[in-house]
A and B are shown apart, each in its own frame.
Chain A
């Protein structure tokens, strides 16, 4: 397949703004990328929108979901389905999301080579030969951890990066598996001084894959982190209280560590503070039974929340092409508290 080249005046003018930020060579890489996006609900819609805008050359979308025209609940949160198209068709018949969305995705960037599949996504995702067609796989709306683990094993096998994205109402997360990624770490020379003075350090990112984290036997906070005496656990556990019920966290972390990190009053508050409990606990189905609200929000892909995550995900992919700093390796949004944290797992 021949390389596409950003050369025409239209390309340069259209991507004028972003080329100034990441240069022509990165724009060239964007143009030649082949991305697989799984499912086109709220998150998928936002991700595809940002990919189309950035000038990605090839996008493939898998989505077998049907919508029910009489029930707006089945499509209220996406904008590649237009209500004028819905009004034109026989509402008694069954339709798939992509029946309506394909045309409008193409319209947003006609220059993108867009392919869609409405047959079984699972079958395709477990087909190594199919996955080999892509430089990147992004899954959304898949909440089945067993399936995600299998997909991640395959993407590791063929060495392509994977983003796993899930949403729970006001909460959402992106898990990134670059497998191995060289990234430029930018550290201010002197935090107080001008941020223009930065040291660029190359860092190899090599993290655990998804299966290890989801397996029921894996500790939420890995043994190494707990044992580390560089203070990592302190920061991490303080963050984590927002995302997992503390009862569980505390059960999993040695009592001595908790006592050394928090005073009694704080420990008590930690135990009572179940706010929007979280993501990580969802990864092990035993946990989230403890929180009704969170459980009810499972899979809800809410506008605005999905826009934030979709943008962060696509920006991260572009940064990875540009060898700039990347997410390492879990991004969590708790929109109830506005918090958006990057965790290393």
Chain B
């Protein structure tokens, strides 16, 4: 035992620390700091989940990584290095995972339940929401955190005791109408989004299967919509060329791409007079000056400077060739845009700048475009360290001092954020759960264990027999993963079908947790809150056909008040949580580096020294 730890936390407190088991989601900026703290303090067992690999630009803050570790898995490298810091408790067990935390086949609800505390060190909203939802089912404290530049927050949460991550609205990513991106860009960001989400995605990525009819074009101009559609069809022909390994003349393919994208499409656009009455008409590039046989550029261009249009075109030609060759080597697999993959970044940056020039929009440096395309919120070592340590201290208080979750406070960087001149960190007591929150309060949450052969009919039978009268007579069941109805009073086709086939028909996609929602459609005034079921597929007994669960109390609410909103609300939550942001043809910037703090609550905005003191003294 470490005598310092015993002095501070007491003998029992120190013992409790050395017996606790925690989950750390994310081994990036906050994760490295968290892991170091937890190991130095002698936590018994730490599971670290991160599917990312290490990149050069991580090394200025993710201090467990070195140059030699680039391209290796963050979770593995981090756990390997902190093995060296195991002094406080030499028995500390470190387990690294390199899979996506949302892979429910690996990280199922029983797996989540083994931990005393869950610490988030995540960089994206989707995973945060997912973990938050899991925590609604396991009743374990969740330490949520995030930083963005000098700003950051560390927020302790507990299902049904404090507010959950989804109790407050989060800023949604910026979206642009299709026509702005495809026909009438006016800002550099429009061209970057076009280059990344349309051009790159179409040529090298997964082809957008959304039906054109479902798209939000942001315009009623039929001529323009027709043009966008035909542009699409012609592009598909180019995609075939790019992927056809029998065509060896890559230079000619690049020439065709440039001709189509930067000349023909622009000339087509020019024909739609209505678009250019109030806007500067675009000017197609001149093909005659372009050397398509160019293979490389010497010396390399400076990514921190603005390039001439000629340089951008040269770089585009060279990079497009590199990407075509790279994709052919992948043999059917697809390229993904990654801001840290120099070829994909250069392709997007040069294409965006060529388009900007065509539309008389200012050019941006590759460095700037990296920021726009990656939607990077810069993260720095110092803020990460402070936030990770506040998270650590909160976890310690629960474990070593036996504090209640309600004793803990959310801490945020009030001084750096300019909301206080005297308090370096602002503190906010946890709010109660938001009674309108569709993740934690407006639903009844339940886990049902079933097998591959469990049918919808079996599930309904077990629910009605266990809940008896409390279960509605009339109800609708939704598959939240696809936001589709799988059962209602006049749709019983799926009753005899195993639910496994209903939920898991898509074999390629990430196997996230499967959720279904049962909506009470009874005509009584007081009806059940929607019953949200997390499905735990039985792994051992493959052919299980039963549905097992611990019955919960189905809480009710007065229908009269919410009658018009309930179903829509729930449906929408399903959308937010599970459907990709690219739905409806809207182009979205959604990645981020180390996640931005959620909108600051009103309470946080006041530097309320006086009232804070009153609370403590009274």
Using a CB–CB distance below 8 Å, which chain A residues touch chain B? 9-10, 12-18, 20-21, 46, 49-50, 52-55, 72-73, 75-77, 79, 82-84, 107-108, 169-170, 186, 188, 191, 195, 198, 235, 238-239, 262, 266, 269-270, 296-297, 300, 302-305, 307-308, 310-312, 314-315, 318, 331, 333, 335, 338-343
Contacts and interface: CB of A to CB of B under 8 A. Distances in A.
Contacts of B59: 14
Report the 5 A-B pairs with minimum CB-CB distance, sorted nearest first.
A82-B84, A311-B385, A303-B40, A315-B382, A340-B424
Given A17-B593, A76-B88, A335 B424 contact: no
B63 A49 contact: yes
Contact of A308 (B8, B36, B390): B390
B56 A10 contact: yes
A46 B40 CA distance: 12
A15 B593 CA distance: 14
A9 B299 CA distance: 13
B331 to A, nearest CB: 30
Contacts, number: 178
Contact of B386 (A84, A296, A312): A312
A17 B88 contact: no
Given A21-B149, A308-B385, 19 more contacts: A10-B56, A13-B56, A17-B378, A17-B380, A18-B61, A20-B376, A50-B382, A52-B63, A53-B381, A76-B4, A77-B87, A195-B419, A300-B4, A303-B36, A304-B41, A308-B389, A311-B386, A314-B382, A339-B427
B422 A296 contact: no
Given A53-B60, A188-B418, A312-B386, A169 B85 contact: no
B246 interface: no
Contacts of B613: 238
Interface in B297-338: 303-304
A315 B409 CA distance: 24
Interface string B107-130: 000000000000000000000000
A340 to B, nearest CB: 4
Given A14-B60, A79-B85, A338-B390, A169 B8 contact: yes
A307 B7 contact: no
Given A72-B87, A311-B383, A340 B423 contact: yes
A299 to B, nearest CB: 9
A21 B389 CA distance: 22
A72 to B, nearest CB: 5
Contacts of B149: 21
A222 B83 CA distance: 49
Among the interface residues B2, B90, B389, which one has the most CB atoms of the partner chain A within 10 A?
B389
A307 B303 contact: no
Given A21-B380, A169-B8, A342 B371 contact: no
A338 B8 contact: no
Nearest to B414: A340
A310 B85 CA distance: 18
A195 B61 contact: no
Contact of B8 (A46, A72, A186, A297): A297
Contact of A342 (B385, B393, B424): B424
19 contacts: A13-B57, A16-B60, A17-B60, A18-B61, A21-B150, A21-B378, A49-B63, A49-B381, A83-B86, A108-B63, A169-B7, A296-B7, A297-B8, A300-B8, A307-B33, A311-B384, A312-B424, A339-B423, A341-B423
Among the interface residues A20, A297, A314, which one has the most CB atoms of the partner chain B within 10 A?
A20
Given A331-B424, A338-B409, A269 B7 contact: no
Among the interface residues B3, B90, B382, B384, which one has the most CB atoms of the partner chain A within 10 A?
B382
Nearest to B33: A307
Contacts of B66: 107-108
A304 B392 contact: yes
B611 to A, nearest CB: 11
A235 B609 CA distance: 8
A89 to B, nearest CB: 15
B396 interface: yes
B57 A304 contact: no
B356 interface: no
Nearest to B7: A296
Contact of B383 (A20, A315, A343): A315
Among the interface residues B41, B85, B609, which one has the most CB atoms of the partner chain A within 10 A?
B85
Given A17-B57, A311-B386, A266 B87 contact: no
B4 A77 contact: yes
Interface in B31-72: 33, 36-37, 40-41, 56-57, 59-61, 63, 66
A303 B57 CA distance: 26
Contact of B389 (A9, A13, A238, A304): A304
Given A73-B3, A310-B385, A338-B390, A304 B425 contact: no
A20 B396 contact: no
B415 interface: yes
Nearest to A9: B303
Contacts of A302: 4-5, 8
Contact of B418 (A54, A198, A305): A198
Contacts of B423: 339-342
